[in-house]
Structure 1
C-alpha cells in the first residue's frame, strides 16, 4: 500500500484545521486499511499561529471576539471526532491551573486576569493555536507522518508524469503531492490605482505613506512624536494603530470613577504623535455591547428564523436580498429594539405599542403590501416618544443627523466642532455598550448580527441571486452592518474618548478628501468649514485587500497564469459580467476551477479566497455555535479531509 502525500499551503488556523481533520478522518478510517498519509505543511511562519497570530506580537493587539468564542477544534457538524485539543476558553481555564511549559511570562500574566467575557490578545490566541498544533503532532495516528517546511510556496503545477501536483518552494525544492490544500489567509496585495498614485506622489515630495498592512508587520517607530499623522479608516485596524501610538509609547489610561463614556483619562507620555482619524462615516465603528454571549440572550429571530430560511433556500438562487431577506431581518431588528425599549424605558412608549407593532410586523411578509412602511411610521409616531424612534440609517451615519450649525452648506464651523461632535458620539456609544442587553440600540444591532449569521449560511448555500449579491448584500448591507456589528471591544471606545479629551486624537470629518498640496498630505471634509488637516505622514488603517485580481502573492499569480485557477465572474442586475474578489470554485469541498471551467481534481481552497462564494470568511470558528455559519470553517475543512481520504 503506497503513501498518500498531501501538501497544505498555509499553516495558520485554517491550514492547521485541515491537518486536524485529516488526522481525525485517518484515525476513523484506520480499520478499513487506509493508505499511509504524509502531510507537508508549508508556511514561513510557525505552524498553528501562522502570520496573523504570531505569539511575539504586542499584547495591545486584541482579538475582536471574547474568550468564550473561538475554537480550532470542532465540537459539532463534522464526520470524524476530534482526537485531541479543546476550545480557547477551555484551554484558558486549564492553563490557569496547569500552565503549559511553553507559556511566556506575558502569557501567564495575561491568563491570570483573563475571564471568559474578556477580549484576549492576538498573541495569547496564537499561543493557544501553537498548543493545539503541538497536541496534534503528539497525537499523530499510526501511519501518518508530518514534515514542516518553513518557507513559501511559489508554484503549484500539475505533475504529468506521476499524477497529482508538484509544489515548488521558494528555495527551488519541489514537493510531490497527490492533493494540495490552499489555506493562504491574508496575502500581499497590490495597491489600488488611487493608492498607488498617492504613494508615488508622496515619494516625490519626501512624504511617508504607510500602505494597508497587517498591523504587526508595521514599524510604528517611523511615526515621530509630535508630528501630525493622518489615519484613513476607522474600523478595527484604526484601534490597533491608536494602541501602538499611545499605550505602546508609554501613555497610561487611568480610571476616573465617572460613568461609562467618561470612565478613563489619558496621561500622555509625550512621545505620541497628533493623530487625525478619517473615514466615510466620520466616526469609528460602534463598540460591542458588554454581554456574556456573542448573540444577545434576550433576542430571538422570529422572522428570519429557520422556517423562513428553509423557504428561501428552497427558492434556489432566485431569492433577492432586498426583496426576500432584508424585510424579515428588518422586522426582527425593529422588534428587538422596541421590546427592549418597552422593557427598560416603559415611560417612552404607550401600552398599545407592542401588540399593534407585532400585528403590523406580521403583515405584508410576502412583499405585497406597499403601504407597510407608512403605516409603521404612523404607528410609531402614535406610540413612541419623540427621540426614541429607531433610525437605522442614522445609526450608520450618526453625524448626518447632527443639526446644521454653519453656513455655506457645512454642518460644522470648525474641526474643533467636529471633534466635539465625535466625542459626544463616543460617550453615548460607550454608555450604550455598558448597558449591554438593556440598551435598545445595542439589541437592534444584536438582531442584525444574529441575522448576519443566518445570511452567511444562505449565501454559502447559494441562496441569493448573483445580482442581489453584488448590488444589495455587498452593495449596501455589508458596509452598513459592519459599521454597527463588527466594532471593537467597548474598552476601546472608552479609551478613544479619553484620547480625544487629552487632545491626542482629532477627526477629519465624513467623506474626507485626501490630496497632496504644497508638498503635504491634506485631509478635509465637505462637512466642515476651515482649513483641512496637513501632515507629512499618512497611514492606511486597513488590512491588505482580499482580492485575487490584485494579489501580490507569487503563488496566486502563478495559479492564475498557469490556468489552475481563475476569478469568479457574476452577472450584475443589468446583465453585465463582474469580476469578483475571490476564486471560482466548485461546490463543497471547494476546488479551484481552471481556465476552461473545470474543477481541478485534488486542488482545494479554504478561507479568505472563498470570498465570492461565502460572505464573512475572516472570523474564527465559534465554540458551541448557535448558528451553522459559526462552524462553517471547520465543516469546510472536514469536507476537504473526507474527500481527500475517501
Structure 2
C-alpha cells in the first residue's frame, strides 16, 4: 500500500468493533472512499471476543430471545449513513439450516441441534450467539476488501508516536503504527477495590475461599466443596450464571413436574448457597406475553423538545428533579395504554378519556393518583415505580422463614405477571423503559447534567433499567425456586452486609431488615468488577491512564471531586487526556467509557442507540482518515 494510506487500529475485536467495521464499509462511499489499513487486535475469536466466545459453559444463555437480537443497522435507525438490512439471530439460524447462508464453519453436533430447535422466542446459548457474531464480523471484514488484518494477541501499550499518530505495542513484541486508534473493548478486569481486597486477604489468611467481582465463567470455583455453605453477594445476571455453573454444571438436572414446575435432582456435588443483595431479590424475568392493545407510538413525554424546554429554563438539569418525572410519566403512559386498551375488562374508563387527562398531570401529583384509581379499580395493577425498584422497602422480617417466604413469593408473583399471557402491561412497561434508555444519551447531552445526575445515570438508572428489563429467561427463575425447594439455595434478604469474624475465620452475612445471620468460609461477589481505568488489569488501558493519554471521568460533588472510574471521552467519543484535551485521533466507545453505554447489539426495528453511535463514530473516523490522507499526499509526492 502507498505510504499515505491511513492506518486504523481497533483495540478489541468483539461485537462493538464488528458493528463499527460494518458502518465504516457502509459510509465509505459518502465520506472517504480511499484506501484504509485496518488492524483489529483481539486475543479471542473476532466478532464474539471474550464475553461471547464459544469456549464457555454450554449451559449459559443469553437474556434475550432470538427474535430480539440483531447486529444490522436497519431502516429504523436514525443516522446519516445508509441502512444495510440483514438477518437477526433467528433469521440467520433459519438461513444456515436452509443453506441460504453457507459462509459458516462446520458446527459441532450440539450446535446443529440448537439451530434446528431455535425459534424467535428461544433464549439461545452464548455458544450459538458466538457463531452469529463471528459470522457478522467476517461479513463486515469482507465488505472492506483486503483492508482488515486481525492480530490474535493482546495490546499491551499505547504511546504517542514521533511525528504524529500512535504506536500500539502487542504482547507478541510487535508494534503497530496507528494514525487512528479506537479503544473498543467491553468489560475489562480491575484490581480489587479496598473492600474486595480485604475479603481476599481475609480468606487467604484463614484458608477460606473468596471470588472477587469478575466475569462469572472465568472464575475457578473448583475449591468450593460439595455441601459447603457459600455466601453470595449479588442476585443479578452474574448470580444466574453462578447457579448454572454450580448446579447443572456439577451434574444436577431439572425435571418437569406435572403442575408445570421444576424439580431439581442433585448430583451430590453442589454447595449450598446463601444469596442476598441490596434489593434482596433477583432481576425480573423476561416477558412471554404479547401486546393486545393499541400499538405504541413514539415517546410522548420524554422527548428532545421536553428536554430542550427544561434546558432553557434551568441551564443545567438534575436527573431526579427534571428528567425522572418525565421518564416515570412516559412509562405510566405506555403501561396504562396497554392495560386500558388491551384488557378493557380491568378498566373503568375509556383510554381516550384517561389519556387526555393524564397528559395534563404531573406523575407525582395527587390528581394523577386519583385518575389511576378511577380508571383501574384493582389497586394491585397500579404502577408503583418506587415499589418496583425497592420491593421490600420498609419491611421488617421476623426470622429466617419469613425471608424465605417473602423472596420465594416475590419470584412466584413475578413469574405470574411476566411468564403468562395475562399481563401484557408488563411488556408495555418493558418497552417504554427500553425506548427511554436508548434515548437518554441523545435527548440530554451529558455535559448539561449536574455531577450528581451523571453518577445517577451510570449508577442507579442503569441498575434500575437492568433490574426491570435485562433479567433472565423465566425458566431461570423457575430453576431458582426448584433449587430453593431442594435446600440448595437460601435467601438472605435485602440490605445484605458482609463482615469478617477474625475469631472464627468466617464471613458473616446479615440483612438490615431481619435478624438473619449466616456464617461461611466461602464468599462469592457475583457481579462484574467496577470500571476503573486507574486499577485496570488490561495493560493497554492501564498504559493509557498512566501515560496521561487517557484519564478517568471526574465529577465535582459537594464533598469534592470523585472519579467514576470510566475512561473519559467527549460527546464525539474522543479520548480526553490528563490535561482535559480531547485527542483528535484517539477514540473510545463501550461500557468502560464515560459515553452512554447502550450495548453492542439490539432489538430489530427499534432505532437502537448502539447502531446510531456506531454510524456516527464510523463517519467521524472516516472523516479523520480522509483528512490524514489529504495531508499526506503532498508529502508523498515530494518524496517521489
TM norm structure 1: 0.87
Contact 1:565/1:594 (<8 A) preserved: yes
Match of 2:358 in 1: 361
> How far, CA to CA, are the matches of 1:489 and 1:322 in structure 2?
31
**Deviation at 1:54?**
0.8
Secondary structure (helix, strand or coil) at the match of 1:399 reads coil
Match of 1:318 in 2: 316
**Deviation at 1:235?**
0.6
Match of 2:637 in 1: none
Cα deviations by residue, 1:165-192 (Å, 9 ceiling, x for unpaired): 1111123322112111111212121212
Contact 2:335/2:429 (<8 A) preserved: yes
Cα deviations by residue, 1:434-474 (Å, 9 ceiling, x for unpaired): 23573445543443333222224324x44741335236535
**Deviation at 1:526?**
2.9
Contact 1:48/1:126 (<8 A) preserved: yes
Q: Structure 1 residue 629 and structure 2 residue 609: aligned?
A: yes
Match of 2:8 in 1: 6
Secondary structure (helix, strand or coil) at the match of 2:147 reads strand
> How far, CA to CA, are the matches of 2:243 and 2:498 in structure 1?
20
Matched residue count: 615
Secondary structure (helix, strand or coil) at the match of 2:409 reads helix
Cα deviations by residue, 1:143-199 (Å, 9 ceiling, x for unpaired): x43332222111111111x43111111233221121111112121212121111111
Relative distance call for 1:165 and 1:466 in structure 2 (3 A) is same
Match of 2:474 in 1: 490
Secondary structure (helix, strand or coil) at the match of 1:571 reads strand
Match of 1:222 in 2: 223
Match of 1:277 in 2: 275
Q: Structure 1 residue 393 and structure 2 residue 375: aligned?
A: no
Match of 1:234 in 2: 235
**Deviation at 1:228?**
1.2
Relative distance call for 1:379 and 1:28 in structure 2 (3 A) is closer
Match of 2:172 in 1: 171
For residues 360-379 of structure 1, what are the structure 2 equivalents within 5 Å? 360-364=357-361, 373-379=365-371
Alignment equivalent of 2:286, drawn from 277, 280, 288: 288
Match of 1:406 in 2: none
Match of 1:606 in 2: 589
Relative distance call for 1:251 and 1:168 in structure 2 (3 A) is same
**Deviation at 1:94?**
0.7
> How far, CA to CA, are the matches of 2:218 and 2:237 in structure 1?
16
Relative distance call for 1:398 and 1:78 in structure 2 (3 A) is closer
> How far, CA to CA, are the matches of 1:15 and 1:462 in structure 2?
24
> How far, CA to CA, are the matches of 2:560 and 2:515 in structure 1?
41
> How far, CA to CA, are the matches of 2:192 and 2:565 in structure 1?
14
For residues 63-462 of structure 1, what are the structure 2 equivalents within 5 Å? 63-75=62-74, 76-77=77-78, 79=80, 81=82, 86-98=87-99, 100-141=104-145, 144-160=146-162, 162-258=163-259, 263-291=261-289, 301-305=299-303, 307-308=305-306, 311=309, 318-342=316-340, 350-351=348-349, 357-364=354-361, 373-381=365-373, 384-400=377-393, 411-436=396-421, 438-459=423-444, 461-462=445-446
Contact 2:290/2:421 (<8 A) preserved: no
Relative distance call for 1:256 and 1:343 in structure 2 (3 A) is farther
Relative distance call for 1:476 and 1:632 in structure 2 (3 A) is same
Relative distance call for 1:11 and 1:478 in structure 2 (3 A) is closer
Match of 1:56 in 2: 55
Cα deviations by residue, 1:93-127 (Å, 9 ceiling, x for unpaired): 21122263332222211111111122211111111
Gaps of 5+ in 2: 627-640
Q: Structure 1 residue 546 and structure 2 residue 531: aligned?
A: yes
Contact 1:24/1:83 (<8 A) preserved: yes
Gaps of 5+ in 1: 403-410
**Deviation at 1:310?**
6.0
> How far, CA to CA, are the matches of 2:392 and 2:543 in structure 1?
46
Secondary structure (helix, strand or coil) at the match of 1:604 reads strand
> How far, CA to CA, are the matches of 2:86 and 2:434 in structure 1?
29
Contact 1:228/1:273 (<8 A) preserved: yes
Contact 2:12/2:42 (<8 A) preserved: yes
Match of 1:584 in 2: 568
Match of 2:463 in 1: 479
**Deviation at 1:50?**
0.9
Relative distance call for 1:580 and 1:471 in structure 2 (3 A) is closer
Contact 1:316/1:462 (<8 A) preserved: no
> How far, CA to CA, are the matches of 1:29 and 1:374 in structure 2?
54
TM norm structure 2: 0.87
Secondary structure (helix, strand or coil) at the match of 1:95 reads helix
